[in-house]
Structure 1
Amino acid sequence: MIGDDPVKSDGDLLQRRPIAEQWAGAIAAADSPSGLVFAVTGPWGSGKTSMLNMVEEFLVEKGVRVLHFNPWFFSGTDQLVTFFFSEVADQISNKDGKQSKVAESLRKYGTLLSPVKAIPLVGTALGGAAEAATSIGTYMEQSLSRSVNQRRKEIEDGFSKLDRPFVVVIDDIDRLTGQEIRDVLRMVRLTGAFPNMIYLLSFDRHRVELALKDDGIPGRAYLEKIVQVMFDVPGVSKASLRQILTAELNSLMKTQPEDIRFNVGIWPDIYYEIIDPLLTNIRDVRRFTASLPAVVALLRNDIELADVIALEAIRIFLPDTFALLPHVIDGLTSTSDYRNGQEENKRQVMEFLGSDPDHEALLKRACGRLFPAAARHIGGSNFDGSWSRQWLRERRVASAEILTYYLEKAIPEVVAHANAAERAFTIIEDEEALSGLLSSLEPRETEGVISLLEAHEEDFANLNPAPGVTALLNQIQRLDRPETGMFDFGPRIVVIRVVLRLLRSVADLARTADLVRSILPNIQTFAAQYELLLLVGYTPNAGQRLIPEEEWQALVRDVKSRVREAGPDELATETGMMKLLRWASSGDDVEVWTLPTTYLDNRVFATALLQDSYSPVHSQTMGSRHVATKDRLAWEALGELVGGEEGIRRCRDAAEVELGQESPLIALVDKYLAGWRPADI
C-alpha cells in the first residue's frame, strides 16, 4: 500500500517523470546572472512535492547543486532570515568546500540583515510597516550599511564565479500561516537577485495570493513580482485515479487468504456509486488505501470486504455521517418496525441521508447498496425477515449484528485509543504520570494510544518534550513483539514517529542537543538509547540530523562505551540485542572492541542472543495468495559478532542448558551448523 508520503521517480504512478525532466531542463538551462525564482504550483493533494522530488533528481543528474530550506523549523522573520543564510551557507560548504569564503559571507550577511521586516519592498504586504521603513532608513545611514553592502558584494562576486548555479528548494509554503507566507516571500525577494542563485518554490497559488492580498491590491500582483516562472502541476484524470486505486486494492487482495469474503458481484456497483465519487485527487487515494490494511487485518475474514471498503470510504471522507452510524443501526438494518415503529426507523434513515447535505444523493445510493432494508423508507423495495438471516450469513453490514460488529470491533477501539491519547497529551510534560498511564494499559492498547499522539503534533511546539520523549522511549522494551504481517511495522516505529515529532518541534540544533543529553541518563535500556541516537544523528537513511554532528558523535561514543562495559546478564535483557552489540562493535574508535568470549558461555546471554538472531521469513509464490513462513537465522551476522561458528557452537551449548535438547531453536542452530543454508540465499 502507498502512504501519504511524496514519491520519487521509481514510484511515479502518474507518469509525470517526463514533465519533471522538462522542468529540470528549463531550470538547469536558465541564464541567472541576477538570480531567478521558479515555482511549482497546484492545489493541496495534487502532487507538488512528488514533482519537486523528481525535478531534483534530474537537476542532480545534470550537475546542479540543490539545497533545501524548511521554513517550518523557524518562526518569526528575524529567525527565518538568520537561519536561512546560515542553512544555505552550511549546505554550500558541505557540497563544495571551495566556497567556504562565500558561505562565511552568507552567514554574516544574514546576521546583518535581520530583521528583514525593516526593509521596504513592495507595498505593506511585503514591505513591513511605515515605521519599520523609517527605522531602516536610519539603520542604513549608519556605518552598518557599509558592512551590509560589503558582504553583499562579496557574495555577488563569489556567486558570479560559480561554474554552475545552485537551486534552493522551499516546499509547502502554502501550509504556513499568512504572516509566515509573507515572511518567506519577502526573504525570497530580498535574496533572489544573487548571481547563479535560483529558487524553486512550491505552493498552492490561490492560498498564497490570498495571504499576499493587502489594501485592495491583488496578491497575484505581488506574486508575479517575485516569481519569474511558474510550473503548474498537471491535473489527474478520474481514469488515472481509478487505475492507481485498482492497483493498490489488488495489492491488498494479494495479502488476504484465498477464502477471503469478497463478492465480485456487488463490488462494481459499490465502487462506482459510493467510493469513486469521494476520490478527487491523488492524496485522497493515498489516505484511503493507507487506512485499509490495518482495518482489514483487524476484521480478518468476518465481514464482507466490499462492505468494509465502502464504510472505510465513508469513515475517511464523510466523518459526520460515519459518526452517526452507531445511532441509526436499527433504521438502516431493520426489515420490520416491530422494535422502534415505522416513524422512528424512518427518522433514523432521513437523519442518515441528511448528515452530509453535499452528498445526500451518494448516501441514498449507499442505502441501496449497503443497507437495502432502509430503502423502503425512501420509496424502495421491502424485504422480509429472511433477508436479515441471509445478510448475516453473507456477513453483510446490512445485518444489524454485522454492522454492530464492524463498529464495535474496529472503530470503538480506535476511539478508545484516541480518548486515552487525549489524556496522555494533557500529561505529556509529566514523565511519571505519562509512564503510569501507558504502563497501566495492555501493550497493544499502549501502542494504539502512542500512535494517536501524532494527531497532537500541532500542539507540540510549546511543550518541553523531554518528559514525553523519556516516557515513550522507556515503553519500547515492554511493547516489543513479533511483527504480524507485511503491513505491521512494529511498536518501535510507532514510538519513534512520535518521539521525532516531539524533538522536531524544538527546531534548534543546540537546544535539541541539550535535551538529548538530559534525556539519555533517564532511558532505562541501551536499546532505547541507541534508537534515540539513531534518530537524532547522522546515520545514512536513518538519522534526522537534529543535533550538531560533533555532539552526536560524542554521545554515541559515550553510550557505546557503556554497552561495552555491561555484563552478559544485563545485555540479555535488551530488545534487539544483536543489533545493539553490532553497533557497539562498529565505528572508527581507536579502541577495537569485540564481544568477550566468556559471555558466550552464559546460558541466559547465549539464549537471548540466539533468539534475537531468529526471524521468520514470509514469501509468496507467483500466482498464489498463500503466504509461506520459513524459519531463518541471521547466521553471518551472528558469526561476525561471536567469532565464527566456534562461537556460535558455544552459544548453542550454553543455550541448550536453558532451553533443553528438544527446543526448535536449538534444532535450527544444529541444522545450520551441519552445513544447511536456505536455498534463497
Structure 2
Amino acid sequence: VDRLDNKEIFNVLRMIRNSANFPYLIFLVPFDKEYAINALTENKIYNPKEYLKKIFDVEISLTPINESYLQPIFKNILNEFIDKGLGDSTSEEIAGLKQQVDGVFANIGLVNYNKPKYSTIKRALFKIIRNNRDIIRFTNSIKLSLKHNFDKLYFPDLIILELIKYENLVVYRKLFEGKNYLRTITKNERKVLELHTDDNKESPEAFSFIDSFGDYDNLILELKEDEKVNNYIISLVEGLFNEPEDQDFNSKLSIYYEFNYLNYIQFSINGISYEDIESLLDGKQTD
C-alpha cells in the first residue's frame, strides 16, 4: 500500500479495519511501516502505531535485501545484454566490457580493481540500488546508453554518472550545466579535467566545452553544504574525475580526458526503437 498517496493509504487501512472480522477473509498487506505511519499522521490519526496494531494481528518484519542477493542479478543482466545486445561489437569489446562488469563486483583489493573509480562504484552501488525494481530501472538506463554508444564511453564512468543521475538528478545536471565547476589542466601532455577546489594552485586552461567566466565554483563544498546530498553522491562526483587505469578497456574514452566530455552528454539516440521506449514505459527490461 505504500505506493498510494496518504489519503488512499488511510482509506485502504480503514476498509481493512472495517471488514477484518468477515468470515473466510484474510488480509495479507505488504507495506513500508514508516511510510504508512507518516500517511496516518498526515490524516490526523493521534497514535499511528497503535492504530496499526489494532488492525493487524500479526506483523512480520522483513530484513533488508542483502547485497549478496542483488549482485548476481545485477551482474547477470549486464553480462547477458553485453553478449546479445551490442550489435556490431567485436569479441574483444565484449570481453573488455564483461571484465569491467566483473571489476565492479570484485572484492576491493583483488586483481587490478582496487582503483579509485571501481572502489567508488563498489562503495556506493548497493547504497543507491536497493532492490530488484531499482536494478531493472538502473540497468535499462545503462543498456540504452551502451546499445548505441559502447564504443564512445568508458564503462566505469558511465556507471558513476548513471548512479549520480539515479540518486540525485540535480547534482547530475550540475556537472553539465555550464557553471565553472570543472577546469582543464595539462598532464602528461594531455588535457584532463578536474574539479575546482580552493586548493587548486595550478592555473587552469580554457575549458573548451563550458563557457568560462574566470571565477570557479567549488562543487564539492557546495554539495557538502546541501543537506539533500548524501556522502555517496559526493564520493561518486569526486571519483568521476579520478584518472582511469591505463590498461583498462577503453580507458582512453574516460570523461577524465577533456576531449571525451561531450560523449557523456550527447548520447546518440539514432536507432533507439519504439520497442525500447515502450518497454521502458511498461517497466520491462530492454533487450
Q: TM-score range by the shorter chain?
A: 0.5 to 0.7
Once the two structures are TM-superposed, the CA of residue 407 in structure 1 deviates from its matched residue by: 0.4
Query: Residue deviations 1:150-170, cap 9 Å, x none?
Result: xxxxxxxxxxxxxxxxxxxxx
Counterpart residue number, 1:405: 263
The answer (yes or no) to whether the contact 1:332–1:371 under 8 Å persists in 2 is no
Partners of 1:209 and 1:287 lie apart in 2 by 27
Partner of 2:241: 371
Q: Distance in 2 between matches of 1:393 and 1:220?
A: 53
**CA deviation after TM superposition for structure 1 residue 349, in Å:** 4.2
TM superposition shift of 1:337? 1.0
Aligned counterparts of 2:231 and 2:213: Cα–Cα separation in 1: 21
Q: Is the 8 A contact 2:121 2:236 kept in 1?
A: no
Q: Look up the SS of the partner of 2:2 in the other structure.
A: helix
CA distance in 2, matches of 1:342, 1:215: 52
2:63 to 234, 249, 254: 234
Closer, same or farther in 2 for the Cα pair 1:239/1:353, shift >3 Å?
Answer: same
Mapped to 2, the partners of 1:328 and 1:355 lie a distance apart of 20
The structure 2 residue matched to 1:344, chosen from 215, 223, 229, is 215
The residue type equivalent to 1:397 in the other structure is I
Question: Equivalent residue for 2:81?
Answer: 252
Instruction: Measure, in 2, the Cα distance between the counterparts of 1:360 and 1:322.
Output: 15
Q: Could you tell me how far 1:302 is from its partner in structure 2?
A: 1.2
Matched, 1:300 2:150: yes
RMSD: 3.8
Tell me, yes or no, if the aligned pair for 2:164 and 2:171 is still in contact at 8 Å.
yes
Cα distance in 2 for residues equivalent to 1:350 and 1:303: 24
What's the secondary structure of 1:200's corresponding residue?
A: coil
- Mapped to 1, the partners of 2:128 and 2:279 lie a distance apart of 33
Asked if structure 1 preserves the Cα contact closer than 8 Å seen for 2:220 and 2:234, the reply is no
Counterpart residue number, 2:109? none
Cα separation, partners in 2 of 1:296 and 1:193, compared to 1, 3 Å: same
User: Displacement, 1:175?
Assistant: 2.5
CA distance in 2, matches of 1:292, 1:317: 14
Structure 2 counterpart of 1:363, which letter? I
Corresponding residue number in structure 2 for 1:396: 254
Task: Provide the TM-score with structure 2 as the length reference.
Answer: 0.65
> Which of 154, 163, 167 lines up with 1:317 in the alignment?
167
| Distance in 2 separating the partners of 1:355 and 1:296 | 34
Deviation of 1:343 after TM superposition, in Å, equals 6.8
Which residue of 2 is the match for residue 666 of structure 1?
Answer: none
Equivalent residue number for residue 199 of structure 1: 27
Unpaired stretches in structure 2, ≥5 consecutive residues: 104-111, 186-202, 244-249
Q: Structure 1 stretches of 5 or more lacking a match?
A: 1-172, 374-391, 414-443, 445-483, 501-617, 619-681
Please give the per-residue CA displacement for 1:436-485, whole angstroms capped at 9, x wherever unaligned.
xxxxxxxx7xxxxxxxxxxxxxxxxxxxxxxxxxxxxxxxxxxxxxxx7x
CA-to-aligned-CA distance 1:492-539 (integer Å, 9 cap, x gap): 6856997x9xxxxxxxxxxxxxxxxxxxxxxxxxxxxxxxxxxxxxxx
Whichever structure has more helix as a proportion of its residues is 1
Q: How many angstroms apart in 2 are the aligned matches of 1:315 and 1:221?
A: 39
What is the aligned partner in structure 1 of residue 190 from structure 2? none
For the pair shown, the structure with the greater C-alpha radius of gyration is: 1
Tell me the equivalent position of 1:75: none
Deviation at 1:293, TM superposition (A): 0.9
Q: RCO (CA 8 Å, sep 6+): is it higher in 1 or 2?
A: 2
Mapped partners of 2:182, 2:3: distance in 1: 40
Q: Give identity over the alignment, percent.
A: 20
**SS at 1:203 equivalent:** coil
Matched, 1:182 2:10: yes
Give how far 1:216 is off.
6.7
| CA gap 1:331/1:194 in 2 versus in 1, 3 angstroms | closer
Work out the number of aligned pairs and report it.
233
Distance 1:177 1:289, change over 3 A: same
